[in-house]
Amino acid sequence: MEAILNYGGLNISDEIDLKKTALIIVDPQNDFLSEEGVVWDLVGEGVKETKVVEHLVELKAAAKEAGIPVFYSPHYYSDEEFKSWSHLNPIDKLMFDRKMFRKGGWGADFHPKLKPDDNTIVLSPHKALSNFWTGDIGIQLRQRNVNTIILAGMSANLCVESHLRDAIESGFDVLVVKDATTGPGPEATQAAYTNYGLIASEVVTTDDVVERFKK
Amino acid sequence: MEAILNYGGLNISDEIDLKKTALIIVDPQNDFLSEEGVVWDLVGEGVKETKVVEHLVELKAAAKEAGIPVFYSPHYYSDEEFKSWSHLNPIDKLMFDRKMFRKGGWGADFHPKLKPDDNTIVLSPHKALSNFWTGDIGIQLRQRNVNTIILAGMSANLCVESHLRDAIESGFDVLVVKDATTGPGPEATQAAYTNYGLIASEVVTTDDVVERFKK
Amino acid sequence: MEAILNYGGLNISDEIDLKKTALIIVDPQNDFLSEEGVVWDLVGEGVKETKVVEHLVELKAAAKEAGIPVFYSPHYYSDEEFKSWSHLNPIDKLMFDRKMFRKGGWGADFHPKLKPDDNTIVLSPHKALSNFWTGDIGIQLRQRNVNTIILAGMSANLCVESHLRDAIESGFDVLVVKDATTGPGPEATQAAYTNYGLIASEVVTTDDVVERFKK
Amino acid sequence: MEAILNYGGLNISDEIDLKKTALIIVDPQNDFLSEEGVVWDLVGEGVKETKVVEHLVELKAAAKEAGIPVFYSPHYYSDEEFKSWSHLNPIDKLMFDRKMFRKGGWGADFHPKLKPDDNTIVLSPHKALSNFWTGDIGIQLRQRNVNTIILAGMSANLCVESHLRDAIESGFDVLVVKDATTGPGPEATQAAYTNYGLIASEVVTTDDVVERFKK
């Protein structure tokens, strides 16, 4: 097993063209990142231990400094959707029962330290796990000649991992920032890490990215 | 964590309409399922312990008996692709180094106990992890009025999980057969199980499915 | 040629299940449908002659009366997009030069007679021609068990036709309402009609649909 | 109308990077291009008058000479599909009634003057009108760093136009070669030309492309 998990050992950071790179932050919203968020009981410990908010703040600032655009891929549901969707899987059911990401509500709003600024492009929301299926991420990146994605945000094994998988299918290079994400519990985070090691072009840390952005 | 992993507790097996159901088997090919396959060192132990081949044979026979179509989603690469693809992630790199799923070769052929029969529809191959991005699975299912997928095959956290995620994004109900798949090592299998519990409409066993198909 | 244009002669209206049907209206916005809209010089004559607004109003009312959901697929651009998109085709160039569908502006707003009501679901905007690529139409329809689309709106050979083509690729049955759409000039409208005859499951009129919805 | 049809006046040929360019030929198969093909009665006159075969042969040779890869996007149906697909639109119905593109048959084979050579990559077949929905075109192009497509083949307003629309949605620049395609009759060809003028990055001729490839 070790064999395959260490197989890649890819290191593409130094080769990437920063002019064709974007930082994508998935779901930087209160319901995930604030103590009053509706799933804080599930992700809060990981968010604090991994310093997810602090790392996202660092990444966002470093990207801006380097002239690299930041894209937010948010997650919203309307009351009408809470009422009428009829094919919920377990994670949908959890979100729907708790009215997570309720459009217009506080929980769906961006974390106070992660408000969009003039370097932030807010994508159309994703409605299941990936913006590549239900949002505008593909065209927005291609129209700006992006071919490399730095990926971070919430949660590790669900929306972030789905964005990763679809970005790879779409032909992007993807570097996942492992200390700028976490899952709903250690087992979920570990699942994400295992899969990142196989699927991401490279797995990096916030420090790696900040360092790279300075060059 | 337990909270969320057991959250769903969905049980949709009894409600599914067998006339609108299909069995999808991902990558039932020698390189994964036969002892001479090029990644047997990585998956072999799991394949044997979980009895993946035996369970796939059972599922396939039960589906045929019940008049439920079986779709194979295979994985092929040509020599030209081995040579010219330029954005390999670690799992691609592993496959390419080992010339896995080499089109026309023995490794890409279906396992001897899982040869297609008159109830099997072989889809166009997927080229990264999911047939929904690079094959014809969507139209083939919709043209036959399928809305529920029973999903099995190889490997658990890579192609099977990507098929699962994309099927959910496409609006299908998906039941994953957890003992008819395995990953490259216990950690990878565990990652898949963790994610199935959150994303699949229901996680089932071969026995569950065979039983259900009899009704 | 006549041969192929009349080939289909499909007539599926009577077979459709109204419980699984939705009305999709593409771009019912001022820039297309109001006299002050930025492309009224190109589409205005067609909109008036074909009575597009009147027919859309009729269709919307009939759908509501019949309990059939109405989905709006709008088109928006932000100032940031006007500035940063770098791969414009001619139709993009036209829209960008005229600041068409400028988000938050009057031109992007819905026509006064076509304001959303409690039977209207407004989809995420499409960013090129089709919501299937850049919006959430697929999941929104599947989550509500829709398998048949009644398609209308603007403009005939551009966004409406792209929605038609992608809906067919996605496995929906699609009835296009030919007198509830028009193109930028008679040649464009004729192009759309020619293609609808080959690609749509059935080409219908507003009267056909209203009649059918009463059953 | 003239206004909009001539609006673009885009001329990107001279700016394209030939190292990132591919020639895509849609459906260069006997059923379309040979006198015994099953729809020769519908397209034959256009194929002869426009010299579609001759132009495709020229384009293919010029691409090879210039080191530009040629991708074929073929169209196949199996007997099982002819039997089991249940949502046919008029063009499907025509193809299915005539057993067009029957897999393994002569009609589905490539035209004798357009056999694949060592510079040709044959994509997985498309199953409705576009390879972007049911084949592997996206990943194959991105893995080879292609961002500009020269598009030609059959038929003008159906598969070629759908490839065009989806390529644009996917963020490619697309130059359509108007004299290396034709539709099922003059009205269909005209519909395609009208739409190309609005949607393609540029509309070019075989001579334009051959000239450009020499630079």
Query: What is the per-residue pLDDT across A59-117, written as a single tens digit (0 to 9) for each?
Result: 999 999 999 999 999 999 999 999 999 999 999 999 999 999 999 999 999 999 999 99
Instruction: Give the whole-angstrom CA distance, residue A101 versus residue B132.
Output: 27
Interchain CB contacts (distance < 8 Å): A and D: 20
Instruction: Tell whether C143 is within 8 A of chain D (Cβ).
Output: no
pTM: 0.97
Q: Taking CB atoms and an 8 Å limit, are A170 and D142 in contact across chains?
A: yes
Amino acid at C68: I
Instruction: Tell whether C114 is within 8 A of chain B (Cβ).
Output: no
* Domain range list for chain B: 25-142+156-214
Average pLDDT over residues D42-47: 98
Pseudo-torsion of CA D69, D75, D78, D79, nearest 10°? -150
Name chain B contacts of C141, Cβ cutoff 8 Å. 171
Is the per-residue pLDDT at A5 higher than 70? no
Q: Is C25-142+156-214 in CATH node 3.20.20.100?
A: no
pLDDT band at residue C205 using 50, 70 and 90 as cut-offs: very high
User: With DSSP H G I counted as helix, E B as strand and the rest as coil, what are the percentages for chain D, rounded to 5?
Assistant: 50, 15, 35
Is the per-residue pLDDT at A3 higher than 60? no
Q: In what order do the strands lie in the sheet with D21-26?
A: D120-122, D70-73, D21-26, D148-153, D173-177, D202-204
E strand segments, C27-170 = 70-73, 120-122, 148-153
> Do the beta carbons of residue C73 and residue C135 sit within 8 Å?
yes
Q: Which chains touch C (3 or more CB pairs under 8 A)?
A: A, B, D
Phi-psi region of D51 (alpha: psi -120 to 50; beta: other; left: phi over 0): left
Name chain A contacts of C121, Cβ cutoff 8 Å. 80
Of B124, B127, B145, the CB nearest to D125: B124
Instruction: Give the whole-angstrom CA distance, residue B97 versus residue B94.
Output: 5
Nearest-CA distance C169 → chain D (Å): 6
Residue of A182, A187, A201, A204 best to disrupt the B interface, most CBs of B under 10 A? A187
Name chain A contacts of D139, Cβ cutoff 8 Å. 169, 171
Instruction: Tell whether C139 is within 8 A of chain B (Cβ).
Output: yes
pLDDT band at residue A160 using 50, 70 and 90 as cut-offs: very high
Note the pLDDT of residue A77.
Answer: 98
| Residue matched to tokens 């829709």 | C146
Which residues of chain B carry a pLDDT beneath 70?
1-9
CB contact set of D130 (below 8 Å; sequence gap of 6+): C165, C169, D159, D162, D163, D165, D166
Coil, strand or helix at C22? strand
Note the pLDDT of residue B15.
Answer: 87
Between C6 and B203, name the one with better pLDDT.
Answer: B203
Of B138, B143, B169, the CB nearest to C139: B169
Of D9, D87, D157, the CB nearest to C194: D157
What percent of chain A has pLDDT above 90? Answer: 93
pLDDT band at residue D215 using 50, 70 and 90 as cut-offs: confident
Note the pLDDT of residue D1.
Answer: 42
> Do the beta carbons of residue B116 and residue B69 sit within 8 Å?
no
Please tell me which residue of chain A has the smallest CA distance to B202.
Answer: A89
Average pLDDT over residues D120-131: 98
Of B139, B141, B172, the CB nearest to C169: B139
Residue C71 bridge partners (DSSP): C24, C121
Residue of C45, C126, C131, C166 best to disrupt the D interface, most CBs of D under 10 A? C166
Is the per-residue pLDDT at D7 higher than 60? no
The enclosing H or E element of D153 equals strand D148-153
Is the per-residue pLDDT at C3 higher than 90? no
Coil, strand or helix at D109? coil
pLDDT band at residue D2 using 50, 70 and 90 as cut-offs: very low
Coil, strand or helix at D148? strand
